[in-house]
Amino acid sequence: MKRFFHSPYTVMGVVLVMYLIKVTAKLGIGMRVHSPMITGDGWHNVADIFEALMVIGVIFFSRLPASDSYPLGRKNIESLFSVLVGVGLALAACSVIWSSISGAIALSAGAPAGVLISWEFAPWVMGVTLGSALLSMGVSRYQIKIGRDSGHEALVADGEETRSDGRIELATFIGVCGEYFFHSPWIEYPFALIVAYLMFKTAWEIFNRGWGALMKRSIGLGHEQQIRLLVEDLPGVVEVDEIKTFRTGSKVILILKVLTRQDSRINRLLKKAMAVHIAQYLRSEEFEDGDFFIRFDEPDPERFRRAVAVHTYRGNLEITRELDTADAVMICDIEHGRVVRATRHECDLSYDDRMARVHWFRDLLVQKRAVELVVFEERTEFGLIDAHMLKRCGIKLTNAAGRDPVIYGL
Amino acid sequence: MFARALVPVRAQQWVQGAAAMALQIALVSEEYVELGETQVDADTVVLTGELLGRSDVHQLLPFEEREICLRADRCIFVPFGSRESGVRAAEVALPLARHLGMKVLFYHTTWHQPGLDSSIPDAHMCEDAKGILEQLKKMGHEGQVAFEYQIELAADVLEGIILAALVHKASLIVTARGTMVRIGSYAERLSGGPVPVLICAQEEGS
């Protein structure tokens, strides 16, 4: 039963019934009392019936599933409808302003008031205008709520238009009351101007929403920043490299490129977790629905070459205390902080000629484009001299945390 | 609380986070090189970049996280099964959570019971797991630690644990090796990341 009342088609059925009641009442009473205003409003509601049928068609079309030809579905037809409703409502507001101003001028020039009806029909006229206004307000609330819940922008736009109709009807009712009770038919006109202002405001909101979706406008830099923070907060995510958002109908489309160093299995789980967090965020910000396209890439491997000065002591490879006591240097290619390739370069020069050995290592490091040299303890006198010399060649001397080359992935 | 931490490979950035956990950091370079043989106290936790081949020490693998996140929306995540490993993990996790002012989430994913149609995961739990859950709840109440629990019917246990930890924004997974497991310990398989994991030491003789 709940499902039945939450169906957009049920809502539009209610809307159609409402318009049928309004048309019958307004045309009936309008013709009976010879009121062109009420009769005209009745014919306006006849046009609304066709608009309601159009909404049903738009909803049906937008609910068709995505296909190869329409990978994101056909939700944008609702945005197109919203743009049209926005324009139509703005034109209607212009018409209300024109009627109010011309009516007020005519009244001040001594013309008779628009509604000159005997007291005999007063309750009927008031009943129809007030009842119509209340009906519009009630049904518009129902339309907007279900439209938001079900993600149908066309339903929301039509609901907002119905609400505007209700406001016009309320202004008309106030005008009728002013005429009957205070003999001041002009009261209707300032109220109508306020209604016109509200109509413009609503028209702009509806138009802007539809236009934004049609033009694939971002859902907002603030929202994108929040989504970026949510994703980057997850363990294993290095950074969000790219984020694009837009709407198709009421549905948010999110395109993300995320940098991680994880394998495909973990990336799959990360994707699921991201979807949960992003959907929660979008719901909290009153977005209705979303499709997320998340792809992964590796961050920049931050490639560089590190040299590790080593010698063999009692059969074990160790990081040397100083450069000149090294048997060799290991030139390591580093990617993502790990050694992916290492080559050993022996120094055959005599240990007696310290400077010659140091220069040999320096030249080798420069030739191999190493940017870092690791020794176990550089804070000796010789070490400081070496550091100064290497620094001039753009090579940093690093003090190893231990003697075991395994620390440096060797 | 842990007395001190050894800080081996690539885990130095976690020193700050470890300090927040009241760990006294032992940054003595030789210690980690020699750790393969070194006797360590029962209350020492080893911060390590890779899983060590020792089960007698607490091992904390931070992966790429710079520190333990202490935000209010975070939690310490304790997966449990039908045996005592979950209780051993909780014995470590609950004092840690109390110290850090964090809540604990006990998580269990159960296998589907054949012939049972219910979509409620709790209905599929075995009696042993229910018993462990009751024990964990009691420990949480006694330890005065805010806790929640979640039971799921995940298709894969390891993926269920990782996904739930990511969804519930776990700062740390605390787990213990099952004493009967010979191959495929979930505790060890969690060492693939990405959520920081504290693998509790195995008691002597277990």
The predicted model gives A378-400 an average pLDDT of 75
Query: Is B66 a member of any domain?
Result: no
Q: How far is CA A379 from the centre of its chain?
A: 55
The amino acid sitting at B32 is Y
In this complex, how many residue pairs, one in chain A and one in chain B, have their CB atoms less than 8 Å apart? 53
Q: Convert the pLDDT of each residue in B86-134 to its tens digit.
A: 999 999 899 888 888 889 999 999 888 888 888 888 888 888 889 999 9
Q: Convert the pLDDT of each residue in B191-201 to its tens digit.
A: 777 998 988 88
Flag whether pLDDT at A94 surpasses 60.
Answer: yes
Q: Convert the pLDDT of each residue in A311-359 to its tens digit.
A: 888 888 888 887 778 889 999 998 887 788 999 998 887 777 778 888 8
* 8 Å CB contact between B190 and B162: yes
Dihedral sign for Cα atoms in the order A218, A223, A227, A233: positive
Query: Is B61 a member of any domain?
Result: no
pLDDT at B204: 60
**In terms of domains, do B91 and B180 share one?**
yes
pLDDT at B57: 78
**In terms of domains, do B38 and B119 share one?**
no
Instruction: Compute CA distances B95 → A382, B18, B100, B145, B187, whole Å.
Output: 50, 15, 9, 8, 20
**In terms of domains, do B46 and B105 share one?**
no
Flag whether pLDDT at A91 surpasses 50.
Answer: yes
**In terms of domains, do B30 and B122 share one?**
no
Q: Which of B29, B32, B195 sits opposite A235 (nearest CB)?
A: B195
- Partners of residue B169 in chain A, C-beta under 8 Å: 233
Tokens of residue B192, six digits: 């693939």
Least confident residue range of A114-128, A395-409, B30-44, B86-100: B30-44
Place of tokens 């840690």: B96
Tokens of residue A250, six digits: 């009421």
Torsions phi, psi of B146, nearest 5? Answer: -65, 130
Judged by a CB distance cut-off of 8 A, whether residue A234 touches chain B is yes
Dihedral sign for Cα atoms in the order A383, A384, A389, A390: positive
pLDDT at B28: 33
d(CA B34, CA A91): 83
Residues A13-34 as b or e (16 or more Cβ within 10 Å = b): ebbbebbeebbebbbebbeebe
pLDDT at A6: 86
Judged by a CB distance cut-off of 8 A, whether residue A266 touches chain B is yes
**In terms of domains, do B44 and B113 share one?**
no
Query: Taking the CB of residue A124, how many other CB atoms lie within 10 A of it?
Result: 16
**In terms of domains, do B152 and B98 share one?**
yes
- Partners of residue B32 in chain A, C-beta under 8 Å: 402
Q: Quick one: pLDDT band at residue A108, thresholds 50, 70, 90?
A: confident
**In terms of domains, do B48 and B83 share one?**
no
Flag whether pLDDT at A179 surpasses 50.
Answer: yes
Q: Which residue of A has its CA nearest to B62?
A: A235
Q: Fill in the DSSP letter of residue A151.
A: T
Residue B20 is part of which domain span?
4-52
List chain B residues with pLDDT less than 70: 1-44, 66-67, 203-206
Q: Which of B9, B192, B194 sits opposite A407 (nearest CB)?
A: B9
CATH number of the structural domain spanning residue B105: 3.40.50.620
Query: Where does CATH 3.30.420.130 sit in chain A?
Result: 304-408
What is the total residue count of chain A?
410
d(CA B181, CA B199): 15
Helix A153-182 / helix A122-150 crossing angle, nearest 10 deg: 160
**In terms of domains, do B34 and B108 share one?**
no
Judged by a CB distance cut-off of 8 A, whether residue B19 touches chain A is no
Flag whether pLDDT at A279 surpasses 90.
Answer: yes
Which has more confidence, B47 or A48?
Answer: A48
Torsions phi, psi of A268, nearest 5? Answer: -65, -40
Flag whether pLDDT at A27 surpasses 80.
Answer: yes
Q: What is the 3-state secondary structure (H, E, C) of chain B?
A: CCCEEECCCCCHHHHHHHHHCCCEEECCHHHHHCCCCCCCCCCEEEECCCCCCCCCCEEEECCCCCCCCCCCCCEEEEECCCCCHHHHHHHHHHHHHHHHCCEEEEEEECCCCCCCCCCCHHHHCCHHHHHHHHHHHHHHHHCCCCEEEEEECCCCHHHHHHHHHHHCCEEEEEEECCCCCCCCCHHHHHHHCCCCEEEECCCCCC
Query: Is B65 a member of any domain?
Result: no
Q: Convert the pLDDT of each residue in A53-87 to its tens digit.
A: 888 998 998 888 888 888 888 888 888 888 988 89
What interface predicted TM-score (ipTM) does this complex get? 0.83
Q: What part of B 50-109 touches A (C-beta under 8 Å)? A: 63-65
Instruction: Compute CA distances A176 → A26, A92, A196, A286, A316, whole Å.
Output: 14, 21, 18, 40, 104
Mean pLDDT over all residues of chain A? 85
How many domains are contained in chain B? 2
pLDDT at A113: 54
d(CA B116, CA A392): 74
The amino acid sitting at A38 is I
d(CA A361, CA A273): 50
**In terms of domains, do B82 and B141 share one?**
yes
From 1.20.1510.10, 3.40.1670.10, 3.40.50.300, 1.20.810.10, which CATH number describes the A2-214 domain? 1.20.1510.10
Enter the CATH code of domain A304-408: 3.30.420.130
CA angle B202, B204, B206 (to 5 degrees): 65
CA proximity to B89, closest of B102, B98, B76, B99: B76
**In terms of domains, do B114 and B195 share one?**
yes
Query: Is B135 a member of any domain?
Result: yes
Least confident residue range of A191-205, A290-304, B156-170: A191-205
Judged by a CB distance cut-off of 8 A, whether residue A402 touches chain B is yes
Query: Is B67 a member of any domain?
Result: no
Query: Is B166 a member of any domain?
Result: yes
* 8 Å CB contact between A15 and A162: yes
pLDDT at A382: 62
The top-level CATH class assigned to A221-297 is: alpha beta
CB contact set of A244 (below 8 Å; sequence gap of 6+): A218, A254, A255, A256
**In terms of domains, do B48 and B84 share one?**
no
d(CA A159, CA A166): 10
Of chain A, the percentage scoring pLDDT greater than 70 comes to 94
**Phi/psi zone of residue B200: left (φ > 0), alpha (ψ -120 to 50 degrees), beta?**
beta
Q: Which of A261, A273, A401 sits opposite B167 (nearest CB)?
A: A273
- Partners of residue A334 in chain B, C-beta under 8 Å: none
Instruction: Compute CA distances B149 → A189, B140, B194, whole Å.
Output: 63, 11, 22
Q: Fill in the DSSP letter of residue A33.
A: T
Query: Is B146 a member of any domain?
Result: yes
pLDDT at B41: 64
**In terms of domains, do B85 and B183 share one?**
yes
Judged by a CB distance cut-off of 8 A, whether residue A406 touches chain B is yes
